[in-house]
Amino acid sequence: MFLSRFRVNTARPGARRLLSSPQAMHAAVMSAFPSLLPSDTPDPDGPRVLWRLDHKARAEVLLYIVSPHRPDLTHLVEQAGWPTAAADPDTPGWQTRPYGPFLDRLATSDQWAFRLTANPVHTIRRKDSEPRKITAHLTSVHQFRWLLERQERCGFRILEKADHKRLLPSGTTNQGKHDHHGDRYELSVGDQRTLTFDKSRTANGNRQGKPVSLVTVTFDGRLEVTDPDALRRTLTHGIGRAKAYGCGLITLAPLNPATDRTR
């Protein structure tokens, strides 16, 4: 497994095209692997290519990729990077490092900061006679709960805030039938985006089928490892739906980067 980071040059037209379409970015990411064909489908039991865009600022967008094979991102440098700067073989325009040694070191009770961009959804139907329909969670109450419901099987638990960090003694706010845990856990949700794009077009450029629409949110928080094997699977298989469109990739970072520079 490999972890790669690529900084997008947002001033370039090619970058703006990729950033405006998860389908185009997915195609660009998958083109980084010569052994993969466009017609290939991921092995449901094996690790897959995952990617995520982090919008740190208007002109600072980072692309992260976790993959079973080492990628070649030369085409991305040409479309959406700094080709002249990348002419130096020591600075090809992206960074890739082996991910396996880090995964192997994960242990029970380890604590990490994490980031996850996901597509929190559920199924609903208005009447019993209707088929269930997949729909997005749009409120932070339901988005929090969506992730909390998955933490155990994903191999971690989200840390709770210390009492002195909570605004309320219990850390929850009752909102109707549901508790809002936003003040209880070391977890925040933000950067909600509604993405609408064409999944495919005909040879002459006309739209083929209905456009795809999905809602993504970014979770930032702190977690403790409860099942290292399950967490390794989560880190290499992703969480939730829409993995082809930049969702599902969770990454870990030291809680105190100043004292741990090995990651």
Q: What is the DSSP letter of 132?
A: P
CA–chain centroid gap for 104, Å, is: 21
What CATH number did the domain enclosing 160 receive?
3.30.70.1210
Question: Is 147 found in the same domain as 79?
Answer: no
Same domain, 205 and 83: no
pLDDT value of position 208: 60
Q: Of 50, 83, 98, at which residue does a domain stop?
A: 98
Q: Are residues 89 and 119 in the same domain?
A: no
CATH number of the domain residue 29 falls in: 3.30.70.1200
* Distance separating alpha carbons of residues 185 and 61, to the nearest angstrom: 27
Specify the pTM.
0.84
User: What whole-number distance in Å separates Cα of residue 238 and Cα of residue 119?
Assistant: 11
How many Å apart are CA 184 and CA 160, to the nearest integer? 6
| Residue corresponding to tokens 């856990």 | 185
Residues 76, 119, single domain; the answer is no
d(CA 28, CA 72): 11
Buried b / exposed e across 121-150, counting CB within 10 Å, b at 16+? beeeeeeeeeeeeeebbeebbebbbbbeee
- Quick one: which of 146, 152, 149, 93 has its CA closest to 120? 146
pLDDT of residue 51: 97
Domain co-membership, 77 together with 130: no
Determine the pLDDT at residue 263. 40
Give me the pLDDT at residue 122, please: 76
Return the structure tokens found at 60.
């600072």
- In 3D space, the residue among 13, 16, 37 whose CA is nearest the CA of residue 27 turns out to be 37
> Above 60 in pLDDT, residue 261?
no
- Give the residue-averaged pLDDT of 54-82: 92
What's the mean per-residue pLDDT of the chain?
84
What mean pLDDT is predicted for residues 199-218? 68
Residue 48's nearest CA partner among 25, 27, 64, 69 is: 69
Q: At which of 59, 83, 98 does a domain end?
A: 98
Domain boundary among 52, 72, 98: 98
Same-domain status, 176 and 219: yes
pLDDT(89) > 50: yes
69 and 28 inside one domain: yes
Type of residue numbered 204: N
Q: What are 225-251's pLDDT values in tens digits?
A: 999 999 999 999 999 999 999 999 999
Q: Are residues 71 and 168 in the same domain?
A: no
Total of domains in the chain: 2
Average pLDDT estimate for 149-172: 83
Answer yes or no: are the C-beta atoms of 18 and 25 closer than 8 Å: yes
**Tens digits of residue pLDDT in 184-201:** 889 999 888 888 877 765
pLDDT, position 223: 97
Q: How far apart are CA 95 and CA 180, in angstroms?
A: 39
User: Is the same domain home to 138 and 238?
Assistant: yes
Domain that holds residue 8: 2-98
239 and 114 within one domain:
yes
Task: State both tokens at 260.
Answer: 């741990």
Are residues 89 and 108 located together in one domain of the fold?
Answer: no
- Is the pLDDT assigned to residue 204 strictly greater than 90? no
Beta bridge partners of 53: 63
Q: Are residues 111 and 197 in the same domain?
A: yes
What pLDDT is stored for residue 12 in this prediction?
94
Task: Out of 63-67, 157-161, 197-201, pick the least confident.
Answer: 197-201
